[in-house]
């Protein structure tokens, strides 16, 4: 289409000159030339605007594509492994001679021309890069001399031009992003715009990664605080049981103290927030030994747990508080006693994910409908209220709001507490 327009303008221009010569009308010839010059200028201006618009659209498309593919790596932090993946994505999509990412002291990643001379972990060499880190302003280097590399005299480096952009997090420079050109060509305006735009996008991603890290620290602190509530809660309940037993049967009380010591030895030995189902059931069984000493035949326990699920991963002290709740609030108030069933299964969720389903079912007194909706709120339960509410909060902190406890109950018909969590197995580390 553009070529056709050019041909038409040229043809009209020639015809007008011929017409002016034939008529020998100088005024007409000058008028035609003036009009043609205006038309030609308009055409060139329109063509330039169209090309600029297309270039801007192309650069925007490249930036969006690069941002989309680099975000998962940038959210994991600025290190050598992630920087290498990001640099490769940028070079593949942007088709540039070389890409470099640094922190404020060393090279994190370099891909492209001259990569045999630039290695991850090398100290920053060029004065231009140090200037960008110091001033927090991007720098366009159009000659090899402006790079001011101290090894320029001893190395046949192919790099001749660069755009160096600071990576900024909360107003502080944390690194640089660089696009290079070789001796065959200087930095084009398009490449400069791409580098500046990508520097801004990468800086935003660095800030997002920092926010993620801070949010994780807060979540871990909350989980540690909730975890710390469980041990004293369990301890005081068990001590009450032992005190009650010591009056009638001192020897049994001594054995129970040994069981209690074993329980806390295991609890203190395992610092991990996630343990195997087998380990969690050891906590449960130790607790039940202590409770059965108090209630005798009044308390019956059943379990339906497939052997192949014993290595499934569960939060530490997550099932024991549910069993304790069933015993304390469901079975204990009944004069004739009752049964607690512990059932574990592997299921497939609606989205197709494999999940672990844990159910604690009792045939005790149940929960009144008015009270049921508030049971999982902190401080609502009896005592210090850290049982069900604690486990519910920890599950949501670890796995998200879609997880947690679900309670189904009717007064005088027992209760079922369901715990659902993503299925994974504990990876055993071999001791060398």
pLDDT of residue 415: 94
The pLDDT score that the predictor gives to residue 311 is 93
The structure's pTM equals 0.51
| Closest C-alpha to 39, from 11, 7, 9 | 9
CA separation for the pair 317, 323 (Å, rounded): 11
Cβ-Cβ contacts under 8 Å for 219 (sequence gap 6 or more)? 397
DSSP 8-state code for residue 328: I
φ/ψ (deg, to 5) at 112: 125, -160
Q: Where are the domains positioned within the chain?
A: 2-56, 75-187, 213-422
Q: Work out whether the CA dihedral 16, 17, 18, 24 comes out positive or negative.
A: positive
Give the integer Cα–Cα distance in Å for 137 and 165. Answer: 7
CATH architecture of 213-422: 2-Layer Sandwich (3.30)
Chosen CATH of 75-187 out of 3.30.450.40, 3.90.1150.10, 3.40.50.410, 3.50.50.60: 3.30.450.40
The token pair at 69 is 């593919």
Q: What tokens were used for 105?
A: 């002291």
Residue 361: strand pairing partners: 341, 416
pLDDT of residue 141: 84
Residue 28 has a pLDDT of: 56
Low-confidence ranges of the chain (pLDDT < 70): 1-64, 66-68, 70-72, 74-76, 114-116, 147-155, 183-186, 213-234, 237, 266-271, 378-386, 427-432
């Amino acid at each position: 289409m553009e070529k056709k327009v050019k041909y038409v303008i040229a043809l009209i221009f020639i015809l007008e000159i011929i017409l002016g010569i034939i008529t020998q009308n100088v005024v007409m010839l000058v008028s035609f030339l003036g009009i043609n010059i205006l038309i030609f200028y308009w055409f060139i201006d329109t063509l330039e605007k169209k090309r600029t618009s297309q270039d801007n659209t192309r650069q925007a498309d490249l930036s969006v594509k690069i941002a989309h593919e680099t975000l998962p790596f940038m959210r994991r932090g600025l290190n050598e492994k992630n920087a290498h993946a990001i640099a490769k994505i940028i070079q593949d999509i942007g088709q540039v001679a070389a890409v470099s990412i640094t922190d404020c002291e060393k090279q994190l990643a370099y891909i492209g021309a001259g990569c045999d001379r630039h290695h991850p972990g090398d100290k920053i060499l060029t004065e231009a890069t140090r200037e960008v880190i110091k001033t927090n302003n991007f720098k366009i280097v159009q000659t090899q001399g402006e790079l001011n590399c101290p090894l320029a005299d001893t190395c046949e480096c192919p790099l001749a031009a660069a755009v160096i952009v600071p990576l900024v997090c909360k107003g502080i420079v944390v690194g640089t992003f660089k696009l290079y050109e070789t001796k065959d060509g200087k930095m084009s305006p398009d490449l400069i715009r791409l580098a500046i735009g990508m520097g801004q996008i990468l800086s935003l991603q660095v800030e997002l990664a920092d926010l993620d890290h801070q949010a994780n620290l807060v979540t871990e602190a909350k989980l540690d605080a909730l975890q710390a509530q469980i041990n004293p809660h369990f301890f005081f309940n068990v001590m009450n049981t032992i005190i009650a037993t010591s009056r009638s049967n001192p020897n049994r009380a001594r054995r129970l103290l040994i069981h209690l010591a074993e329980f806390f030895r295991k609890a203190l030995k395992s610092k991990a927030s996630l343990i195997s189902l087998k380990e969690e059931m050891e906590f449960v069984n130790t607790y039940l030994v202590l409770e059965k000493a108090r209630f005798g035949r009044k308390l019956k326990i059943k379990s339906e747990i497939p052997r192949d699920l014993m290595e499934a991963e569960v939060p530490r002290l997550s099932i024991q508080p549910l069993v304790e709740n069933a015993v304390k609030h469901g079975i204990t108030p009944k004069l004739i006693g009752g049964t607690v069933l512990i059932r574990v299964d592997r299921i497939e969720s609606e989205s197709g994910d494999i999940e672990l389903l844990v159910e604690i079912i009792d045939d005790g007194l149940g929960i009144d409908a008015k009270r049921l909706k508030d049971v999982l709120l902190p401080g609502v339960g009896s005592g210090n209220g850290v049982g069900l509410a604690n486990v519910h909060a920890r599950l949501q902190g670890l796995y998200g709001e879609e997880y947690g406890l679900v309670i189904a109950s009717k007064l005088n018909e027992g209760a079922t507490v369901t715990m659902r969590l993503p299925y994974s197995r504990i990876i055993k580390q071999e001791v060398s």
